[in-house]
């Protein structure tokens, strides 16, 4: 792939230049998040950006394709593709660099294969016999270092910081009104003190300079409208398609890139052979709008493959009529994890445990417990945003991923294990119907809905008192399991199943790890669902939740965390690593589990925990 940097899975391809060989490492899973398309990847002495899908290999081998019919139907694509093993395409960004020796700033090209070295031939007021970098031998020249600052807008566009305009500007003057000298030669100067005010950008030609103080303020780049630059797609210059103002960000800022990824538990088809046939022939079957033609083609396929027409129709209709809503999508997983679709061989192996073997404490709250000895998770990248999270986190954003729409999306297939817990629906309903419980969460739910309307974001489905309890229980279990099962909390993930609609009732949580190979993981997590261990695990989890080092402030909180959407939940007691939480560490409250000393009934387990403490 000409003009692009590329690296292998685990061991990156080595690239030679005057400084020797360079090795860059990016795992295949990291190519989905956090280093997906459009993300900046920092490597020693250089900064690269993952290129768009238009730069990925056109010819995809069958072994590099991932099939998940449910997820494909949801995202309207044919299949998924693993990140390239022989080289993940990357472009160079930001383009502006500076020499660590003489501080000269130079702009590189987005497709430079070799890390640039300093060739400065301009002296900036240095006395003595100090030599210019351009006069040194090639092996003596320093490698240019990428600058710390970039400019981006809320439409996901990103560009280099306007260094030339900034160096010649003054506070209060719009950058489009700045008078530039004929031949700007910039230097990146910094002193010994910390802070942006100690960084000076100076032009050696005219002597103009300006510190970086105030460069990150909201109106610092006023006058320079965004031109729609998409360097990850090769559109470095932009096409003037955006009218938003840009803001300054530091290259490693967490709000410079928000990955949009979606995960799905793979539910193996009841008949894998029929599913594969439909997958291969789907375009041919549906190629004509005429219903009679479709019937004839199905009949021909039935005769060729020796499979009843009705079976072909059933699988075809399942693919076409896949549920688009999040609730319906998860309902199939919820039913499968309870053992309704057991598969001893394949990518999902669930073992519902006999509840009679569990103690009374566990049986009070759970109607079903399943050991998930093996599961497969498909994790697909569907877009990204900058400055703030995307408004539509489940909608594919093709314009940010590629210059032209593809019929596939990048994804990885990860294997693991887990524990599935189904909460007793009747007990959960009795708790949630208490007036005191409803009132505790009413204002927070209304505030979230109003905020979503104001920001034009999708409102979360089925946000309720029950969701607060299930979500907090999942977090509490993950925090406790990190001490019990051999996996760190960053390796564990949650999946919440919550809905109170009559025909779609769900009340369960899946705690899983997806960090193994094709054979799964080592069983340390799944074994915690064993009757001999689970009850003690549950007791310890609830006892952990009783107290927080930030109490009484945490316990009495009326709103904290992102958007003030948590109550009694902070980093010391309930939050987990962002990679493991579906909701960005929102909608949490310890009181939903254990209540308060004065009102234990506010907790789903409140009265039982109070008895334990007596």
Distance between CA 246 and CA 218 in Å, rounded? 9
Mean per-residue pLDDT for 176-182? Answer: 89
Cα angle 11, 235, 223 (rounded to 5 degrees) comes to 120
> Does 44 have pLDDT greater than 90?
no
Mean pLDDT for the stretch of residues 447-460: 80
Provide the phi-psi class of 486: left if phi over 0, else alpha when psi is between -120 and 50, else beta. Answer: left
Assigned token pair, 354: 């006999």
Strand partners, 66: 80
Q: Say yes or no to pLDDT of 132 above 70.
A: yes
State the DSSP H helix or E strand holding residue 591, giving kind and residue range, or none if neither: helix 591-594
The whole-number average pLDDT for the span 223-246 is 82
Kindly report the average pLDDT of the chain as a whole number.
84
The whole-angstrom separation of Cα 134 and Cα 196 is 29
Which of 117-131, 265-279, 312-326, 337-351 reaches the highest mean pLDDT? 117-131
Q: Is the pLDDT of residue 43 over 80?
A: yes
Give the mean pLDDT of 251-261: 90
Confidence (pLDDT) at 111: 84
Residues 510, 337 contacting (CB under 8 angstroms): yes
Which residues in 106-121 are b (16+ Cβ under 10 Å) and which e? bebebeeeebbbbbbe
Alpha carbons 97 and 323: distance in angstroms, whole number:
49
pLDDT at 95: 94
Helices 291-305 and 309-320: crossing angle in degrees, nearest 10, is 120
Handedness of CA 420, 424, 425, 429 (dihedral sign): negative
Q: Is the pLDDT of residue 325 over 80?
A: no
Q: In angstroms, rounded to a whole number, what is the distance separating the alpha carbons of residues 233 and 252?
A: 20
Binned at pLDDT 50, 70 and 90, residue 73 comes out as confident
Rounded Cα distance between 163 and 41, Å, is 22
- The DSSP code sequence of 207-272 is --EEESTTTTSTTTTTT-B----BGGGTBSS--S---PBPEEEETT-GGG-EEEEEEEE----S-H
Separation of CA 468 from chain center: 22
Tokens of 392: 């539509």
- Of 314-318, 319-323, 402-406, 494-498, the poorest mean pLDDT is in 319-323
Residue 19: the pLDDT is 42
Percent of the chain with pLDDT over 70: 83
Q: At residue 518, does pLDDT exceed 60? A: no
Cis amide prior to 146 (ω within 30 degrees): no
pLDDT tens digit sequence for 187-199: 999 888 888 889 9
Note the pLDDT of residue 272: 57
Q: What is the mean predicted confidence (pLDDT) over 209-222?
A: 91
The mean per-residue pLDDT over the stretch 549-556 comes to 93
The sheet carrying 40-43 orders its strands as 40-43, 46-50, 90-92
> What is the chain's length?
614
What is the per-residue pLDDT for 516? 54
pLDDT of res. 15: 37
Structure tokens at 33: 């998040």
pLDDT over 50 at 18, yes or no: no
Question: In angstroms, rounded to a whole number, what is the distance separating the alpha carbons of residues 248 and 222?
Answer: 11
As a whole number, mean pLDDT of residues 388-400 equals 81
Per-residue three-class SS string for 81-148: ECCCCCCCCEEECCCEEECCCCCEEEECCCCCCCCCECCCCCCCCCCCCCCCHHHCCHHHCCECEECC
Q: Is residue 570 predicted with pLDDT exceeding 70?
A: yes
pLDDT class for 550, splitting at 50, 70, 90?
very high
By mean pLDDT, which of 289-303, 468-482, 584-598 is the weakest? 289-303
Banded model confidence at residue 11, pLDDT cuts 50, 70, 90: very low
pLDDT for 522 equals 62
CA–CA dist 305, 278 (Å, integer):
11
Contacts 24+ apart (CB under 8 A), 430-438: 431/465, 431/469, 431/604, 432/464, 432/465, 432/466, 432/469, 434/601, 434/602, 436/599, 436/601, 436/602, 437/465, 437/602, 438/465
Is residue 5's pLDDT more than 60?
no
Q: What is the pLDDT of residue 486?
A: 79
- 465/437 Cα distance (integer angstroms): 7
Confidence band of 311 (pLDDT split at 50, 70, 90): low
Check whether 509 has a pLDDT greater than 90: yes
Q: How confident is the model at residue 316 (pLDDT cuts 50, 70, 90)?
A: low
- Residue where the block lists tokens 């700045």: 178
pLDDT of residue 126: 55
- pLDDT beyond 50 at 157: yes
In this prediction the pTM is 0.82
Q: Are 79 and 261 in contact (CB under 8 A)?
A: no
* Bigger pLDDT: 111 vs 436: 436
At residue 2, the pLDDT reads 38
- Quick one: which of 109, 131, 108, 104 has its CA closest to 120? 104
Residue 454 has pLDDT above 80, yes or no: no
Residue 292 CB neighbours (<10 A) = 8
Determine the pLDDT at residue 490.
87
- What mean pLDDT do residues 238-265 have? 87
Q: Is the pLDDT of residue 12 over 60?
A: no
Q: What are the tens digits of pLDDT across the range 76-91?
A: 888 999 998 778 888 9
Whole-number Å distance between alpha carbons of 65 and 362: 42
Tell me the average pLDDT across 245-251. Answer: 92
pLDDT at 218 over 60: yes
- 45-63 pLDDT, tens digit per residue, is 889 999 999 999 888 888 8
> What one-character-per-residue DSSP string does 353-403 give?
PPGGGS-HHHHHHEEEEEEEEEEEEEEEEEEEESSS--S-TTS--HHHH-S
Mean pLDDT value across residues 576-583 = 89
Q: Which two tokens stand for residue 527?
A: 């074994």
The CB-side HSE value for 320 (13 A sphere, CA atoms) comes to 11
Looking at residue 452, what is its pLDDT? 81
The predicted pLDDT at position 9 comes to: 34
Q: Given pLDDT bands bounded at 50, 70 and 90, which one contains residue 344? A: very low
pLDDT(266) > 80: yes
Phi, psi of 417 (to 5 degrees): -145, 170
Three-state SS at 344: coil
**Average pLDDT of the residues in 342-370:** 83
């Amino acid at each position: 792939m000409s003009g692009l940097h590329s690296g292998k899975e685990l061991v990156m391809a080595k690239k030679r230049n005057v400084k020797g060989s360079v090795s860059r490492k990016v795992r295949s899973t990291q190519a989905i998040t956090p280093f997906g398309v459009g993300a900046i990847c920092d490597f020693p002495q250089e900064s690269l950006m993952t290129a768009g899908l238009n730069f990925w290999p056109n010819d995809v081998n069958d072994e590099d394709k991932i099939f998940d019919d449910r997820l494909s139907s949801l995202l309207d694509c044919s299949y998924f593709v693993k990140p390239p093993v022989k080289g993940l395409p990357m472009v160079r960004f930001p383009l502006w660099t500076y020499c660590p020796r003489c501080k000269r700033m130079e702009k590189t090209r987005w497709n430079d294969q070799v890390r640039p070295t300093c060739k400065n031939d301009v002296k900036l007021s240095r006395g003595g016999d100090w030599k210019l970098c351009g006069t040194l031998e090639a092996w003596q020249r320093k490698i240019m270092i990428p600058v710390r600052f970039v400019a981006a807008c809320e439409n996901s566009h990103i560009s280099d910081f306007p260094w030339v305009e900034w160096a010649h500007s003054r506070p209060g003057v719009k950058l489009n009104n700045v008078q530039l000298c004929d031949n700007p030669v910039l230097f990146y100067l910094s002193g010994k003190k910390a802070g942006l005010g100690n960084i000076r950008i100076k032009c050696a030609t005219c002597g103009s300079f300006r510190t970086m103080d105030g460069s990150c303020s909201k109106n610092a780049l006023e006058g320079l409208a965004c031109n729609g630059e998409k360097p990850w797609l090769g559109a470095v210059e932009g096409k003037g398609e955006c009218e938003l103002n840009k803001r300054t960000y530091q290259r490693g800022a967490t709000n410079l890139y928000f990955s949009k990824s979606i995960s799905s538990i793979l539910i193996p088809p009841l008949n894998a052979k029929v599913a594969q046939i439909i997958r291969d022939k789907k375009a041919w079957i549906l190629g004509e709008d005429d219903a009679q033609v479709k019937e004839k083609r199905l009949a021909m396929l039935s005769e060729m493959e020796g499979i009843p027409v009705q079976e072909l129709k059933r699988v075809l209709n399942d693919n076409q009529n896949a549920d688009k809503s999040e609730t319906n999508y998860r309902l199939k997983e919820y039913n499968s994890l309870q053992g309704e679709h057991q598969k001893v061989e394949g990518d999902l192996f669930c073992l519902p445990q006999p509840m009679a073997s569990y103690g009374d404490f566990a049986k009070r709250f759970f109607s079903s417990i399943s050991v998930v000895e093996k599961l497969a998770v498909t994790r697909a990248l569907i877009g990204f945003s900058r400055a703030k999270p995307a408004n539509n986190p489940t909608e594919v954003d093709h314009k940010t991923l590629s210059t032209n729409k593809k019929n596939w999306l990048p994804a990885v297939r990860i294997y693991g294990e887990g524990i599935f817990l189904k909460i007793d629906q009747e007990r959960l309903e009795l708790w949630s119907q208490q007036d005191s419980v409803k009132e505790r969460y009413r204002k927070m739910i209304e505030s979230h809905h109003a905020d979503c309307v104001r920001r034009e974001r999708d409102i979360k489905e089925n946000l309720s008192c029950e969701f607060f309890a299930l979500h907090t229980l999942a977090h509490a279990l993950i925090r406790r399991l990190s001490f019990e099962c051999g996996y760190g909390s960053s390796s564990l993930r949650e999946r919440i199943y919550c809905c109170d609609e009559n025909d779609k009732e769900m009340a369960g949580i899946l705690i899983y790890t997806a960090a193994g190979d094709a054979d799964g993981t080592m069983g340390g997590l799944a074994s915690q669902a064993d009757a001999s261990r689970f009850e003690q695990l549950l007791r310890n989890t609830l006892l952990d939740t009783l107290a927080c080092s930030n109490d009484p402030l945490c316990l009495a909180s009326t709103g904290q965390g992102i958007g003030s959407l948590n109550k009694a939940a902070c980093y010391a007691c309930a939050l987990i690593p962002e990679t493991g939480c579906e909701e960005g560490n929102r909608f949490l409250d310890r009181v939903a589990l254990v209540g308060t000393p004065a009102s234990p009934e506010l907790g789903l387990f409140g009265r039982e925990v109070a008895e334990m403490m007596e």
